[in-house]
Amino acid sequence: MIKPKVCILRTDGTNCDEELFYAFEKFGSSPQYVHINELRAKSKKLKAFQILALPGGFAYGDDVASGKILAVELVSFLKDQLQEYIIKKGLIFGVCNGFQVLVRTGLLPFGKLGKMDVTLAQNESGHFECRWVNLKIETSRCVFLDDHKRQVSQLAVNHGEGKFFADTKTIKKIEDENLVVFRYVDEDGKQTQLYPQNPNGSTNAIAGICDPTGRILGLMPHPEKFVDITQHPNWRRKKFDPPHGAFIFEEMIRYAQNS
C-alpha cells in the first residue's frame, strides 16, 4: 500500500518537528520536512501531501501571541494553496503551537480562513507548564478517529498559552456540533477546571477540537511524545501498551490511506 505523504511544516522556532516526524514514520506514513519558505517559493507544494502537520514549538518566538506571526503569514501567502488543499480533502493536524496557529488562522474551529473565533490564551498559572495530564477522547466529528468510548489517555502538555477560550455562544456551538475531541479530566475521568489536571484553565476543559468537516484536528497535548513505551515518566511502574499517543497517528494514517 502507498504510504500517505505528510508535510511537516517548519519555520523559525519550530521545535517538536523531529518527534512528530518520527511518530508519522513509525506508524506507516512518509513524512517530509517542509520549510514555509519552500511553500512560499512554490518549490514544494501542499497538494503533493495527504496530511499537513503543524508541529509544536515557538514559531517566530510566539511574538505578539502564540502562533500569530505564522498564522498571518499562512493567511497572507498560502491562502490559495490551503484552500485548494482543503477542497481536495487533505487532512490537517496541529499540535500545541500548531494548534495555536490553526486557531489563529481561523481554520479551527469553523474552517474560516482569516476569521478567528476562539483563542488559546495565556495559562491561568501565568507561565509555561510541562506536565502529564489525563485526557478523555470524546465522540466527535473528527473523521479519522474511531469511537474510543470516552477512553482516557495520559499525554504531556508543554505550553504557556493553552487556555481554550471563546464566548459562551461559540463554546455552545462547538459543543453542539460535536467539535470537541479531547478534554482534560481528573483521576475519575470527569472533565475538570481544577489545576493542574486542567493545566491552563481551558473553558469546559477543552484540550482539542476539530472543524465541521472533521478533517482538521488541533490539540494542546502532545501525542507524538508518547508513541514509545519508554517516553512515559512511569513506564517502570505501569504497563502502557500501546503508548497513549499511538492511536491518533495510526487512525489518521489509515484514514489517509483509504481515502
Partner 1 sequence: MIYEVRIASKEKTDPKGQNLLAEIERTLGVKTIKNIRTAKIYRLEGISKSDAKIFTQKVLFEPIDQKMTFNQPIFKGTDHLVEVAYKPGVMNPEAGSLLKSAKDIGIDLLAADSSWEYAFFGKFAKDQLQAIIKRLLVNETVEHVVEKSPKTLLISGHAGKIQTIPIRGLDDRQLMELSQDKLFLNLEEMKVIQNYFAKIDRDPTDCEVEVLAQTWSEHCVHKTFKAKLIIDGKAKKPLIERIKETAKFSQKFIVSAFVDNSGVIDFYNGWAVSGKVETHNSPSAIEPYGGAMTGSGGVFRDILGTGQGAKPIISTDIFCFAPPSLPAKDLPPGCLPPDYLLRKVVAGVRDYGNRVGIPTNNGSIHFHNDFRAKPTVAVGSYGLIPKKQANKRRPKKGDLILTIGGATGRDGIHGATFSSGEMTDRTIEVSGSAVQIGNAIEEKRIIDCVLALRQQNLFRTLTDCGAGGYSSAIGEMGQKIGARVYLEKVPLKYSGLSPWEIFLSESQERMVLAIAPKNLKKVLKICKLYNVQSAILGKFDGSKRIKVTYDDQLVCDLSMQFLHHGLPQRRMVGKTIVKMIPDKPPKQPKDLSAVWLKVMSHGNVCSKEPIVRQYDHNVQGTNALHPLGGVNFDAPNDGAVVRPILNKPYGLVVTHGLNPILNRIDPYWGSIWATCEAVSNFVAIGGDLKNAALIDNFIWPFPDEESLADLDKSVDACCDMAKLLDMPFISGKDSLSSTYRYPDGRVLKIPPVLLISVFGKIPDVKKTTSSDFKKVGSTIVLIGKPDLKNLGGSVYFDVAGGQSSSVPKINLKSQKAVLTSITAGIRSGQILACHDISEGGLAAAMAEMCFGSDCGAEIDLSSIALAKEDHPDFILFSETAGTFLIEVANPIVAKKLFAKVPHVIIGQTIKERSIRVNLGPKNLCNLRLDQLKQAWQKPMKEIFHD
222 CB-near residues (< 8 Å, 6+ apart): 16, 19, 56, 95, 96, 155, 156, 157, 158, 245
The residue type found at 171 is I
Q: Distance from CA of residue 11 to its chain's centroid?
A: 17
Contact between 80 and partner 1 (CB under 8 A)? no
Which residues are 208's β-sheet partners?
182, 219
- Of residues 113-172, those binding partner 1 (CB under 8 A): 116-119, 121-132, 156, 158, 160, 165-167
Identity of the amino acid at 199? P
Instruction: Single out the segment in contact with partner 1 by CB under 8 A; choices: 84-92, 172-180, 234-242, 248-256.
Output: 234-242
| Per annotation, catalytic residue among 7, 16, 96, 142 | 96
Residue 16 is a catalytic residue: no
Residue from 9, 46, 51, 73 touching partner 1 (CB under 8 A): that is: 73
Whether 96 is catalytic is yes
Is 35 an annotated catalytic residue? no
Single out the residue of 64, 88, 147, 151 in contact with partner 1 (rule: CB under 8 A). Answer: 64
Out of 112, 172, 233, 242, the only residue in the binding site for partner 1 (CB under 8 A) is: 233
Site for partner 1 in 163-222 (CB under 8 A): 165-167, 201, 222
- Output the smallest distance, CB 258 to partner 1, in A: 26
User: Is the peptide bond between 4 and the residue preceding it cis, with omega within 30 degrees of 0?
Assistant: no
Buried b (16+ CB within 10 A) or exposed e, 204-242: bbbbbbbbeebbbbbbbbbbbbbbbeebbeeeeeeebee
Active-site hit among 73, 138, 161, 224 = 224
